[in-house]
Amino acid sequence: MKYIKLLISFALTFGVFYALNTKLGSIPPLGKFLNPVSGIWQNETDEAVIGEVAIPGLEEKVTVHYDEQMIPHVFAENEHDLYKAQGYLTAKHRLWQLEFQTHAAAGRLSEIIGEAALEYDRTERRRGMDYGAEQAIAYMEQYDTETLRFVQDYADGVNAFINQLDPNNYPVEYKLLDYRPEAWSPKKTALLLMYMTKMLAGYDDDLEYTNVLRQIGEENFNLLFPDFFDSTDPVIPKDTDWSYIDVPQTKLPESQAVLDTIAETIEKPHPDNGSNNWAVSAEKSVTGNPILANDPHLGLKLPSTWFVMQLSTPDHNAFGATIPGALSIISGFNQNIAWGETNATRDVIDWYKIEFNDNRTQYKYNGQWKDVTLRVEDIKIRGKESYKDSVLYTHHGPVVYDKNFKSENEHSGYAMRWIGHDGGNNQKTFIELNKAKDYEDYVNALKYWNAPAQNFVFASTKGDIALWIQGKFPNKWEGQGKFLMDGSNPENDWQSYIPQEFNAHTKNPERGFVSSANQHPVDENYPFYVFNDGYETYRNRVINTYFNSKDKFSVQDFKDLHNNNHNLKAKELVPYMLEHMDISSFTEYEKTVYKEIKDWNFSNDIDEVGPSIWRQWYGELYKILWDEFDDESTALTSPFTYQTIYLLKNHGEHEFMDILATDDKTETAKDLFRIAFKEASARLKEIRDEDGNYAWGNYKATYVGHLLQALPAFSRFDIPIGGDRNIVNATSKNHGPSWRMIVEMTTPPTALGIYPGGQSGNPGSQYYDNFIDDWAAGKYHRLNFLQSNEANNTIIGTQTLTPVSYD
């Protein structure tokens, strides 16, 4: 009996221990997770802003003043110490995000989350993310050991924090998912830059276009997907003189697209990833100082994509938004210049069909067989054996699709040629921009930048404004890379690159302002082939119209433009639809909705109902119009909004207007307007019945979501902010202005900035999401640009990082 009692009580005790010490499904190990000594209760605090911390490897003391927004103002004696301090402080405030993002970049989420992430990890590996990061490190090792040393300094700083961190104080997410941080390395910085490259230059539709071309033929394809729309308002003004360019576009070879049928393609970055930036010249500024603004549009995430810092040495003093994992300021200013980026959206991904030999060790190229290189991706999976994925590499790049992945062909595959794999020295551009004193320094800094191609806006205290579209661009033949190409034909390879000095740019243009909003970079007169890879067509026109509307602009005007909710897209279609739609069959309810949208002033403010009606109506319309491309068995894409609206207004009788499901009728655009309107009204009625109303704020329901699939407890929902995609205030449901900055080039510059988040990555900190309300209200925070290492009245605490003494 006593044996049995002993055994039972032991089993119970062990059972309780096991249950509370083990992660069960998505439930964290509750004993570990909830105990007050080492569990989440230890995270119920803000980060320390005072005291002294010893950092191994520092040469001199580094002073960090924190202001009331929890922005660290860093004063270091040299650049090595500066980047050590940046690494340390970034880890201190954002450790989990810092590591998680690079795990995501490297295709290593299965290690943390388990098998559910395997498909994602395989996609990232096959996309060559890890390979690309290795190329970047190899490039730095060979050509630029100075930058590599700074990257190592940053790593040392991050590791100093990790090594000092008591496991009791690990960020909450580690406790929730039950794992530990690992050491940081320069390769992780390279992975972070790959992550940005994927986000901003990882979008393409080549394979979808190939399917579409096969299905509808060339004539229809060109009507639906033109290289240039009927009107353009490019980044580089239309009247620019290109006659100095003496390198010709690559000659058109006798090349045919390979019209394969591709069932499924890999996941793509968000198509709305983009941004606005602009600057006005001294003459066009009310105060006589140039003013510059930037607002990158990205997924709205917590912890935020951005972390604001002031980074200074005796030789330079920079301030602005950093990205955890990358060195120096990314979008910001120093004592002499200001800069910011928008995505240049150029086509730097092409696809090649590869034909293998029988045992897949060689592939056909130029009439011969060429060896493939095998790269085995070892994907660790939590609680399971590793998954080994064999990826074949050709001289084009990785064969992403083959018999092992989304394809059934034994002897062929599709290889990806992506500028992201080329290695490069992107980090140096930012390190140099942080120190730049004038236009020449800015231009020199940009030369190192390969990808993702960006529109770098510039303004200086000397009075210059400029904008360069910088990236490494293949000099393509007309039409190259629009569709899948034959990988065995050398003429289809990228033949050369556009020489960097011929990248499109403008300095102090006559119109007195520069701007970019992801639109077409240039007009047809630019002598190189630029393919329409999803260019924006609305924000750019609203911005440029605004700056042409009067002579002089102030900081307040800049704020107004950031928060401008004018819906040009709706304005270009709604009146036409209202005029041409047959409303004789409308019910009373539909007539009410009709009146509501008729009375709308095309402003996407939160209390308007017009934007919701428009969104619902256009959404239904787009769906029934492009029913031709709604096919689960083939990867397809449908035309861009601009061209869709153009076709509705100018080709209303075209065969594409017909709804395929109705055999007995042939619909035209006018019919589609009516059918879509009725569908939309019905849906809006449902929304009204469920939620009380369909005012835009409710309908859109903007949220900022935690990086772990918007875990509700760590996210913020129903944020009252207007705007939408294709609007200057580009805030859609979970995407939009992730950082808003306005800099006036006084001496020293005065700046405003805000982002939808907070400086702390800890959900237990009041600084986790404290900027969100002001951001939504269109407010800004003054960026307190300290000119010397002295705490003023805006400083709430000073922390000193000291070298480790070995005596």
Partner 1 sequence: MTKKMTNFIATIVLAALFSFFLPWWSVMTAALVTSLFIPLKRTAVFFVPFFSILLFWAVYCFMLSSANDFTLAKKISQLLQIGGNPYVLILVTGVIGGLAAGITAIFGKQIAAFSSKV
Which residues bind to partner 1, rule: CB under 8 A? 2-3, 5-6, 9-10, 12-13, 16-17, 20-21, 30-32, 34-46, 172, 176, 711-714, 762-766
Instruction: Please say whether the beta carbons of 573 and 645 come within 8 A.
Output: yes
Phi, psi of 436 (to 5 degrees): -60, 145
Report the residue number, 87 or 763, with the smaller CB distance to partner 1.
763
Beta-carbon neighbour count of residue 250 at 10 Å? 19
Q: How far is the CB of 18 from partner 1 (least distance, A)?
A: 11
What's the min distance (Å) between Cβ of 1 and partner 1?
Answer: 10
Which residues, listed in sequence order, are joined to residue 486 by a DSSP beta bridge? Answer: 353
For residue 581, CA distances in Å to 285, 502, 576, 653, 661 come to 45, 49, 8, 14, 21
Q: Say which residue the tokens 């062909």 belong to.
A: 409
Torsion of CA 556, 557, 560, 565, to 10 degrees: 180
Of 32 and 395, CB closest to partner 1: 32
Return the number of the residue (9 or 261) whose C-beta is nearest partner 1: 9
Counted residue by residue, the chain has a size of 807
Identify whether the C-beta of residue 469 lies closer than 8 Å to the C-beta of residue 503. yes
CA-atom Rg of the chain in angstroms: 28
DSSP 3-state percent helix, strand, coil across the chain (nearest 5)? 35, 20, 45
Q: State which residue, 706 or 740, has the beta carbon closest to partner 1.
A: 706
Please say which residue, 30 or 245, places its beta carbon nearer to partner 1.
30
Q: How far is the CB of 336 from partner 1 (least distance, A)?
A: 41
DSSP reduced 3-state for 401:
strand
Could you tell me if 19 and 148 are in contact, meaning their C-beta atoms sit under 8 angstroms apart? no
Q: How far is the CB of 303 from partner 1 (least distance, A)?
A: 14
Q: How far is the CB of 175 from partner 1 (least distance, A)?
A: 10
Closest CB 5 distance from partner 1, rounded Å: 5
Return the amino acid letter for 587: T
Rounded (5°) CA angle 95-175-121: 70
Q: Report the alpha-carbon distance of residue 541 to residue 263 in Å, rounded.
A: 37
Residue type, 501: E
- Which ranges constitute the DSSP H helices of 118-270? 118-126, 129-143, 145-164, 172-177, 186-201, 206-224
| Residue from 645, 648, 629 nearest 637 by CA | 629
CB nearer to partner 1: pick between 46 and 422: 46
Q: Which is nearer to partner 1, 12 or 777 (CB)?
A: 12
For Cα atoms 322, 152, 423, give the angle at the middle one, nearest 5 degrees: 75
Least distance (Å) between residue 591 CB and partner 1: 43
* Smallest separation (angstroms) from partner 1 to the CB of 31: 5
Considering the complex, what minimum distance in angstroms separates the CB of residue 758 from partner 1?
12
Shortest Cβ 734–partner 1 spacing (Å):
19
Cα–Cα distance between 608 and 592 in angstroms, integer?
Answer: 15
Minimum distance between the CB of residue 773 and partner 1, rounded to whole angstroms? 16
Shortest Cβ 256–partner 1 spacing (Å): 56
Coil, helix or strand for 362? strand
- CB-nearer residue toward partner 1: 666 or 766: 766
Closer to partner 1 by CB, 64 or 172: give it.
172
Residues 6+ apart with CB under 8 A from 510: none
User: Alpha-carbon distance 353 to 541, whole Å?
Assistant: 39
Closest contact distance (angstroms) between CB of 7 and partner 1 is: 9
Structure token digits, residue 181: 């941080």
Could you tell me whether strands 72-75 and 307-313 are parallel, antiparallel, or unpaired per DSSP bridges? parallel
Name the E strands within 202-355. Answer: 274-280, 291-299, 301-302, 307-313, 316-322, 331-334, 337-343, 349-355
To partner 1, the closest distance from the beta carbon of 170 in angstroms equals: 13
Give one DSSP letter per residue of 737-767, joined into a string.
ES-EEEEE--SS-EEEEE-SS-S---TTSTT
CA dist., res. 630 & res. 367, Å (int): 39
> What span, in angstroms and rounded, lies between the C-alpha atoms of 614 and 721?
17
2 vs 665, beta carbon nearer partner 1: 2
Smaller CB separation from partner 1, 21 or 601: 21
Shortest distance (Å) from residue 334 CB to partner 1 = 35
Select 527 or 764, whichever has its Cβ closest to partner 1: 764
Structure tokens at 157: 């700083």
CA 234, 236, 240 angle in degrees (round to 5)?
115
**Closest to partner 1 by CB, 9 or 145:** 9
CB atoms within 10 A of CB 231: 9
Nearest to 452 by CA among 192, 230, 631: 192
In the complex, minimum distance from the CB of residue 763 to partner 1, in angstroms, rounded to a whole number: 5
- Based on CB atoms, which residue is closest to partner 1, 37 or 661? 37
Using DSSP's 3-state secondary structure scheme, residue 694 falls into coil
Cβ proximity of 94 and 70 under 8 Å: no
Which CB sits closer to partner 1, 9 or 545?
A: 9
Compute the distance between CA of residue 294 and CA of residue 412 in angstroms, rounded to an integer: 45
Closer CB to partner 1, 46 or 523, in the complex: 46
Q: How far is the CB of 2 from partner 1 (least distance, A)?
A: 5
The crossing angle, in degrees rounded to 10, of helices 118-126 and 79-106 is: 120
Q: 314 or 712: whose CB is closer to partner 1? A: 712
